[in-house]
A = this chain, B = another copy of it.
Amino acid sequence: MVKVAICGGSGYTGAELMRILAQHPGAEVTAVTSERSAGKRVTDIFPHLFKYSGLVYESLNPEKLLPKADIFFLALPHAESQEAVDFFFSKGKKVIDLSADFRLSDPAVYEEWYKTPHHFQDTLKKAVYGLPELNRKAIRKARLIANPGCYPTSAILALYPAIADGLIDTDTIIVDSKSGTSGAGRKADVGVSFCEVNEGFRAYAVGSHRHTPEIEQELSRISGGPVMIDFTPHLVPMDRGIVTTAYAQLRKKISTKEALGYYKKRYAKEAFVIPLEEGIYPNAKHVRGSNYCVVGVKVNERTNTIVMASAIDNLVKGASGQAVQNMNIMLGLEENIALEGLPLCP
């Protein structure tokens, strides 16, 4: 029985980690921290986590937390995560960081987009980008996982075969993503209040969202050369889900069926990535509450463009589910333990 601590457990990704781990036969949550909610029971904040009525939030005290767990999930705000990650990692623990702090391998890029320096660059070098479909082997041997962002997970899985198989001109990539509101986190903010979000739809952070360099880094690795993208996130009046619609110019004429063939081949052994048949497109509703990602493609022969789309649950495959998937791989377990649940629909 692996003992798990969750640092920053009063947000939606923390709650989702608890929900998923409650299904895990080989792991047990032994501690959960929250500064705002220290002293309160988990069920005071998340009444639906019935099985955690005995667990109480504590303040984040790394020294004190150290002996309580074998593996540490950190769901802290960006920049706040650095030091705690370094601490647990330096003490020999396994660490899965859900913040952005260890995702960008170039500290200068990190500083440019997150407006704060990276103080633990040696540890940063040890971090593995935790997208199993790309990095499974490295994850298996890693002790520090930078768990991917929600938009990057959706964008990379939509684009991976098209780039890896040389189908597209990587100078022409447009990534138009649409996210449910849980992606904004659990917070007291007029901007995410029901009456501001419901019956609305809008773009935000156009051309300036922090997930941009993360997507570019991974697409560049796949491509073998530098890739820059246009990335526009949008806010959808739904709780969960990200749908990404990506566009690029084709490098040669190809049919939708042929393009789909590349996707099916690349994802043939993946339990959680499901290419859809021609004419069917990813729907956030069909992955909700699950670790699945559905992908679909369509060639527009009139314009020689390919449209590549994906859907994930931003809190599961886009955060906590993928974190547990990474944990399973690190521990040498079956990758899908606690993640086998089918989506909740409707």
Give residues in A with beta carbon < 8 Å to B.
12, 15, 19, 22-23, 46-51, 172, 174, 176, 178, 180-182, 186-190, 192-204, 206-207, 228-230, 232, 234, 236-241, 243, 245, 247, 274, 276, 280-290, 292, 294, 298-300, 302-303, 305, 307, 309, 311, 340-346
Contacts and interface: CB of A to CB of B under 8 A. Distances in A.
Contact of A243 (B202, B283, B340): B202
B176 A274 contact: no
Given A200-B286, A201-B283, 6 more contacts: A49-B342, A186-B195, A198-B198, A201-B243, A201-B284, A236-B237
B345 A46 contact: yes
18 contacts: A48-B287, A48-B290, A50-B343, A176-B247, A181-B195, A188-B189, A192-B194, A194-B196, A198-B237, A199-B199, A200-B241, A201-B283, A201-B311, A202-B282, A206-B300, A230-B247, A288-B344, A344-B344
Contacts of A186: 190, 193, 195
Contacts of A286: 47-48, 200
A197 B22 CA distance: 25
Contacts of A237: 194, 198, 236-238
B202 A284 contact: yes
B203 A232 contact: no
A236 B178 CA distance: 10
Contacts of A236: 201, 236-237
A161 to B, nearest CB: 17
Contacts of A239: 194-195, 198-199, 346
B195 A193 contact: no
B12 A182 contact: no
A325 to B, nearest CB: 16
A195 B230 contact: no
Contacts of A193: 181, 186-189, 192-194
A50 B247 CA distance: 27
A277 to B, nearest CB: 10
A30 B340 CA distance: 20
A277 B226 CA distance: 33
B201 A241 contact: yes
Contacts of A197: 194
Contacts of A292: 50
Contact of A240 (B174, B180, B199, B281): B199
B234 A178 contact: yes
A305 B206 CA distance: 11
